Chain A
Amino acid sequence: MDNVLAFGAASGQAGRVDALFVLITVIGGFFFFLTQGMLIYFAVKYRRRRQDRDNETPFITGNPLLEFLWILIPSLVVIAIFYYGWQVYADLRIPQAGATEVYVNGRQWMYEVKYPDGRTAINEIRVPQGKPVKFILSASDVLHGFYLPDFRVKMDMIPGRMTTLWLQPDRPGKYQIFCTVYCGTGHSNMQAQLIVMPPQEYAEWVEKKGREEGEEGEREPVAVRGERIVKNAGCLSCHAIEGKEKIGPNYRGLYGSKVPLEGGQSVTADEEYLRESIVEPGAKVVKGYPNVMPTYKTSMPPDDVRAAVEYLKTLK
C-alpha cells in the first residue's frame, strides 16, 4: 500500500483525510459511471441507422421534473461533501495542548529550524513521537510552502506573517517535506526531513545536541533572548507584566486569551496576533486602550520579533 501511495498515512489525521479522499472518489466514481455510461450508451444506441430516421426523432425539449432533480441531488451531494471536508479540516486546525513547538523559517532555498530552547538546524526537524507538534512558520524573502505528504497537510510560509500548522506524529520515522509555493530557481530542491523519534531517543538527542551547541557558547533559549529584547525595546514602560496596568494591557495571561477589540470584534491572542501587535500596533486596537503605541516594524528585525513573542508566550 505504501508503495502505491508513495507516502503512507503517518498519523490519524492523515487517515481521516484519506477517508475523505476515498469517499469523494466513491461518490465521484458513481457519477462518473452514471454520466459517462449514459453518454456512451446513448451515443451507441441512438447512432444513425437510416438517413430517413433523421426526421423521426422525437421533439423533446425538456422536462421540468428532471431539471429539478438534477439541480436538487447534486446540491445535496455537494453540501454533504463540503460539510465532511470542513469537519476534517477543522480537526486539522484545532490547537492542541502540550504541543512541541518548532519555528521554521523559509529562505531561498532552505528551511531554517529553531527550537524554543535555542537549538537550531537546517532542513532537518526532529520531534518526539506521540506528542502533538506545532510548527510556527515564516519566511524571509519570498513565499515558500511547507508540505508534509505523509501527514496530508501543507501551509504557506509568508514573509512578514506567522502561520501555524499542527500535526500528531504517531509513528517514528523520516518524513519528507517539500516546498510547494514556487519560490524561484531552486524551488524543486527546497526539501527537508521531519524525523520523528521515540521519546527516550529524542530526549538523549536534545541533551547531546544541547551540549554540542553549548560548547560553542551560541545557545540561548529563545524566550530568554526574547525577554532581553522586550526589556531593551522599552516595552515594559507601557506594559506591565502583571499587577497594576500601565498605558497598555498587561502581558501575563495574554497569550491564548480572547482579546476584545475596538469595534466590537474579538481575536484570540496567537503568535500572529502578538507579532502583528508589535509591528503594526494600530491594526487591532484592544478595546478601552488608546491607539498610541509606536510601530516596531523597522526597529525590530523579524527574528527578534519571534523571540519577543516566544517570551510573551511564557508569561502564562
Chain B
Amino acid sequence: METEGVGRMEAEGNGRGYLAERGWRSWAFTLDHKRIGAMYLWTTTVFFLIGGVFALLLRLELLSPQAHYFSNHTYNIFFTLHGSMMIFLFIIPAIPSGLGNFFIPLHLGARDVAFPRLNLASYWVFAAGFLVIIGSLVAPMDTGWTFYTPYSAKTGAAVTTLSLGVFLIGMSSILTGLNFIVTIHKMRAPGMTWHRMPLFLWAMYATSIIQVIATPVVGVTFLLLAAERVLGVGFFDPAKGGDPVLFQHFFWFYSHPVVYVMILPAMGIVSEVIPVFSRKPIFGYKAIAYSSLAIAFMGFLVWGHHMFTSGMSPLANAIFSFLTFFVAVPTAVKVFNWIATLYRGSITFESPMLYALTFIFLFIVGGLTGPFLGAMATNVQLHDTYFVVAHFHYTMMGGTVMGFFAGLHYWFPKMTGKMLNEKVARIAWALVFVGFNVTFFTMFIAGTRGMPRRYAEYLPKFHTENVISTIGSAVLALGILVMCWNFLQGLRKGAPAPSDPWRALTLEWRTASPPDVENFHEIPRVADWPYGYGTPKA
C-alpha cells in the first residue's frame, strides 16, 4: 500500500509496544482495542480447548456401540456442553471479538475503535455471560445446544441459568458489532475509500450487521423460554397452549444467520493471507467484498431449511429450499476468486498459507455437501443423521477454525512481537489436516448409512466408522496440542519479529511488532488498495 507520512523509524518499534504496561489493572481496565482483543483471544481459546476435551470424551464413548465409560445422561450432557461452548464461547466471539478487535483499527489506520469504553464493557458482559454459563454446570444442561422445546422447558437441568448466560453473550456480541460498524464507517484513515479497505474489513462489516440484527431475536427467545420455565407462561409448551415449532423458527432465525457470523470473518482472513503468500493481487476484489454482503443478506432468508421435517407445509419447505441453494452462489464466487488468485503467483507455504489453503480445501467439501441437505428429498433422508454433523464440522471447523488458525499464525508476530517456530507449526498442521479428515469424513459415511446424531448408543453396524473417527480425533487433538505448545514456546522465546515479516501491504504491518499503544504515531494517508503485489501494468 502506498502510504505517506509513515517513517520506517516508527516501524522499528521499541520492543514491548502495547504490552509494556504490567499488572492486572492494566488489563482489566484497559481501553486499548489490542488488549481487549487479546483478552478475548485467551478466553475463547481456553473454551475451545475445554470444548475440545468434551468432544474427545464423546469420541471415547463412541468407541463401543453400548454405553461403556459414561451413562447416556452423561453423554447427553457432554454433547450439549461441547456444542454450546464451541458455538457461544468460542466460534462466535473468537475471530470477530478477538482478531477483529485487534486488527480492525490497525487495518483502518485508526488509533482505536469508535467506542473504546463500550468495547471494554462488551468484554466484561461477555465475561459475566461465561461465568453464568459456568454456574449452570451445577445442574448441567442436557438439551443439546439447540434448546428445543418442550424438552428444554421440562428438563430439570439449569436451562434458565444457561439461557441467561447466552443472553449476556449475545448482548456482548451486539455491542461489539455496533462498535465495529461505526468504527468502519467513521474511523477510516484519510484516503481509505470503501474500495481500498482490506477484505477482512468487508467481511467484518457484513458480520457485524448480522450480529446487530439477528442476535436480539435469540435474546428474546431465551427470555421467553426463561419466562416459560420460571413463570409458567406457555409460549412453546403445547400443554400450556404454546407451540414447540415456534421455538424452532425463533431459534433458527438467529442461529442460521449466525453461521455466517462464524464463517465470514474466517473468509476475510483467507482473503488477506492468499494474496500475501501468492505475491499476487487478490482476484475479483469487488466480487469477494460484495459477496460477503450478499451472504449476510441471504443468510436471513433460509432458516427454514433446518426444519424440513418439522411439519411445515410443503410449499414453505420448497421456498426455503430454493432460497437456500442461492446462498451457495456467493460462497462459490469467493472460492473461485481465491483459486484464481493463486494463478501465476509465486506461492510459498508458510503456516498461515497452509491453513488458508486447508480452509479452501475443507470448505469446498463442506460446501459441496450442502446441496444434499438443501435438496428436500435428500434432506428428509439425511436430516438429524451424522451427515449433518460431518457437514457442519467441515464448514465450521474445517472452515472457520482453519481460518482462525491461519489468522493466529499470520498475526502472531504482530500481536506478540515474536516469531513462531515454522517447523513445529508445519508438523502441527499436518496432524490437524490428517486428523480432521479421518474424524469427520467418516461421519459423512455413517450418516449416509443412516446413523442418527446425538446417540449415546448405536447399532453395531456403525461400529467401524465410529472407531476410525475416534482414532482421527486423537490425531487431531495431538495436532492442536503441538500447535498450542508452539504458541507458548513462541511467546516465551520466539525470535524477535520484524514489523512486516510476510512483506504484506495492509496497514497493520506499518506499525511496530507489537504495535505501540496508539498504533500509529501519525495517522497514515492511503493512496491505493492493499493488494498491489506483482508487477503493475506499465
Contacts and interface: CB of A to CB of B under 8 A. Distances in A.
Contacts of A272: 311
Interface stretch (B84-92, B212-220, B375-383, B516-524): B375-383
B20 interface: no
Contact of A75 (B239, B244, B329, B532): B329
Contact of B375 (A36, A67, A81): A81
Interface in A9-32: 16-17, 20-21, 24, 27-28, 31-32
Interface residues of A, number: 83
B275 to A, nearest CB: 10
A185 interface: yes
B318 A145 contact: no
Interface in B352-380: 357, 360-361, 364-365, 368-369, 371-372, 374-380
Contacts of A156: 309-311
Interface residues of B, number: 97
A161 B309 CA distance: 13
Contacts of A28: 368-369, 371-372
A53 B346 contact: yes
Given A85-B376, A86-B318, A189-B457, A143 B346 contact: no
A180 B384 contact: yes
A278 to B, nearest CB: 14
A182 interface: yes
Contacts of A142: 150-151, 154
B373 to A, nearest CB: 10
A24 B343 contact: no
Contact of A78 (B143, B326, B348): B326
B375 A158 contact: no
Interface stretch (B47-55, B199-207, B330-338): B330-338
Contacts, number: 281
B325 A78 contact: yes
A244 interface: no
B45 interface: no
A70 B336 contact: yes
A156 B357 CA distance: 39
Given A143-B150, A181-B148, A154 B314 contact: no
B156 to A, nearest CB: 10
B76 A5 contact: no
A82 B321 contact: yes
Interface in A159-192: 159-161, 163, 176, 178-189
Given A6-B449, A155-B311, A61 B281 contact: yes
A158 B345 contact: no
Contacts of A86: 318, 321-322, 375-377
B285 interface: yes
B491 interface: no
A292 interface: no
A21 B154 CA distance: 38
Interface string A114-142: 00000000000000000000000000011
B348 to A, nearest CB: 5
B294 to A, nearest CB: 10
A314 interface: no
A62 interface: yes
A54 B76 contact: no
A297 B340 contact: no
Nearest to B349: A47
Contact of A60 (B311, B343, B377): B343
B142 interface: yes
B186 interface: no
A149 interface: yes
B534 interface: yes
B279 A145 contact: no
A4 B345 CA distance: 43
A141 B154 contact: yes
Contacts of B462: 6
Interface string B262-288: 000000000000000011111111110
Contact of A43 (B143, B347, B451): B347
A97 interface: no
B99 to A, nearest CB: 24
Contact of A188 (B72, B144, B335): B72
Given A78-B326, A154-B309, A158-B311, A36 B285 contact: no
A76 to B, nearest CB: 10
B423 interface: no
A101 B123 CA distance: 57
A4 B314 CA distance: 32
Contact of B343 (A46, A92, A143): A46
Contacts of A67: 284, 287, 333, 337
B317 to A, nearest CB: 7
B238 A159 contact: yes
A64 to B, nearest CB: 9
A91 B371 CA distance: 19
A154 B285 contact: no
A57 B284 contact: no
Contacts of A163: 311
A35 B339 contact: yes
Nearest to A31: B368
A75 B341 CA distance: 22
Contact of A185 (B72, B241, B336, B458): B72
Nearest to B360: A39
A142 B336 CA distance: 45
A143 B285 contact: no
A51 B155 CA distance: 63
Given A62-B286, A85-B377, A5 B449 contact: yes
B245 to A, nearest CB: 6
Interface string A62-85: 110011001100110011011011
A217 interface: no
B371 A24 contact: yes
A21 B374 CA distance: 12
Interface string B214-242: 00000000000000000000000111010
B287 A62 contact: yes
A47 B348 contact: yes
Contacts of A79: 325
Nearest to B247: A143
A206 interface: no
A46 B346 CA distance: 6
B5 interface: no
A149 B452 CA distance: 10
Contact of A187 (B76, B333, B383, B459): B76
Interface in B137-173: 142-144, 146, 148, 150-151, 154-155
19 contacts: A21-B448, A24-B375, A24-B378, A35-B336, A39-B357, A46-B343, A47-B348, A48-B346, A57-B345, A71-B329, A74-B333, A78-B325, A89-B375, A92-B380, A143-B150, A156-B309, A184-B155, A188-B457, A189-B457
Q: Shortest 3 CB-CB distances between A and B: which pairs?
A: A85-B375, A160-B238, A149-B450
Given A56-B535, A57-B534, 4 more contacts: A24-B372, A31-B368, A90-B314, A180-B453
Interface of B: 72-73, 76, 142-144, 146, 148, 150-151, 154-155, 237-239, 241, 243-245, 278-287, 309-311, 314, 317-318, 321-322, 325-326, 328-329, 332-333, 335-337, 339-340, 342-349, 357, 360-361, 364-365, 368-369, 371-372, 374-381, 383-385, 448-459, 461-462, 531-537
Interface of A: 4-7, 16-17, 20-21, 24, 27-28, 31-32, 35-36, 38-39, 42-43, 46-49, 53-63, 66-67, 70-71, 74-75, 78-79, 81-82, 84-86, 88-90, 92-93, 141-143, 145, 147, 149, 152-156, 158-161, 163, 176, 178-189, 272, 297
